[in-house]
Amino acid sequence: MAEWQPNSDLLTQLFRQEYLRMIAVLCRHFGLEHIETAEDIVSETFLKASEHWAHNGVPENPPAWLYTVAKNKAKDHLKRHALFEQKIAKDLQPVDIEAEKPFEYSSQFITDSQLAMIFAVCDPGNSNESQICLALQILCGFSVEEIANAFLTKIETIKKRLLRGRTHLRNCNFQITSLSKTAIKLRLDTVLQTLYLLFNEGYFSRTNDQVIRKELCSEAIRLALVLTENVLTNTSQTNALLALMCFQSSRLEARINDKGEAVLFNEQDKSLWDNTLIEKGNYYLVNACDGSEVSKYHLEAGIAYWHTTGTTENKWQQILQLYNQLILIEYSPVAALNRAFAFANVYGRQKAIEETEKLQLTDNSYYHNILGYLYESMDLNNAIGHYKQAIALTKSKAGKQTMQKEIDRLKKKRS
């Protein structure tokens, strides 16, 4: 498969915005069995743009230029395929490619293709793990390493899942057309989980030198908005997930300082919080609560809401109760460790240490990070030791720097 590496700010932005949309449109014309062909055509289009624009300047409408070139390359591919069928492979079973079907690139067609592509990739014929891996790679542009970290598993395991999943997509002959209510019901949970993982990787990256990858958060929100624009996918859970993303994104600017280091919640400059996103979060959370359904997205959105509200009375008690419900619905190490922070704000650090150490997540960097924070007020040596263990388990360069800064601060305090 051809690969293109962005080499300018404009092309990088366009690559993030249009690459997946273009693949979705081409797959709607070719069929998912030719997804590699679609990926090659789009990659070649961006390569041509990087060369052509460098010599001739940026066109007046860059996205339109990209879609036109991709369309022409697709037509050339179809002509070559037709020539092969006519002159070389007359006796072979013809491949079902609609060569005469006109290419359409209207805004609505692109949106519909993208939505259909999301659900096509999340095929129940694959395991849930393979569905999410495929969606993260094809729809969201994740590398194999990023997917492995999102699943907390080995790279080789992810490679095998992707190989099986892509093979199934090619062989199932799924046509990206209008979505049925049944297809949406079967696949929506996997789609939402994929967007959830995508946002989390952006909100706290485990594989990048940056603590935050805003472009991944923005991509997750954009795809979630696509779901809310269709009556069949504008569900309570979808709105709850989008509310969660808005609340969390509202604090992105305050979560890092001018040196790229992480800033703890209690130390964040609240004037940097984005009130517009908080208001949008409130809007989608209200939409999510129009029935009796309570999903993990509802609970996490509620937790995020309480973090952004200015109310102080019973705030942490409310957050702790929501974490208690969340762990009962779907336990995860991250939720358990986040609960420890809330527990400390309600019952004190000593009791929070006892709760946290019961988890025994000794191979988790965040576990040691939390314990470093909790031990600071009572045992500086122990706190420093946990921060050192957290550094050893962290892949992110920025994360290592942030924790080393904490160690240096505690050593100065100790002396």
Q: What is the pLDDT of residues 381-403, one digit of tens each?
A: 999 999 999 999 987 777 888 88
Burial class of residue 406, CB neighbours in 10 A (0-12, 13-18, 19+): buried
d(CA 239, CA 245): 10
CB 171 within 8 A of CB 177: no
Burial class of residue 363, CB neighbours in 10 A (0-12, 13-18, 19+): exposed
Does the predicted model carry a pTM greater than 0.75?
A: yes
Neighbours of 176 (CB within 10 A): 24
Which residues, at least 6 apart from 394, have a Cβ–Cβ distance to it below 8 Å?
A: 365, 400, 403
pLDDT the model gives residue 97: 44
Going along the chain from its start, the domains and CATH numbers come out as 332-414 (1.25.40.10)
Neighbours of 326 (CB within 10 A): 23
CB 24 within 8 A of CB 116: yes
DSSP assignment string, 41-72: HHHHHHHHHHHHHHHH---SSHHHHHHHHHHH
Q: What is the pLDDT of residues 207-265, one digit of tens each?
A: 555 666 777 788 889 889 989 988 899 999 999 999 999 999 999 888 888 877 777 78
- Average pLDDT value for the chain: 85
d(CA 145, CA 151): 10
- 262 three-class SS: strand
The region, left, alpha or beta by phi > 0 then psi within -120 to 50, assigned to residue 331 is: beta
Q: What is the pLDDT of residues 110-154, one digit of tens each?
A: 888 888 888 888 877 788 788 888 888 888 777 888 888 777 788
What one-character DSSP code corresponds to residue 256?
B
Residue 314 corresponds to which tokens in the numbers above? Answer: 């019973």
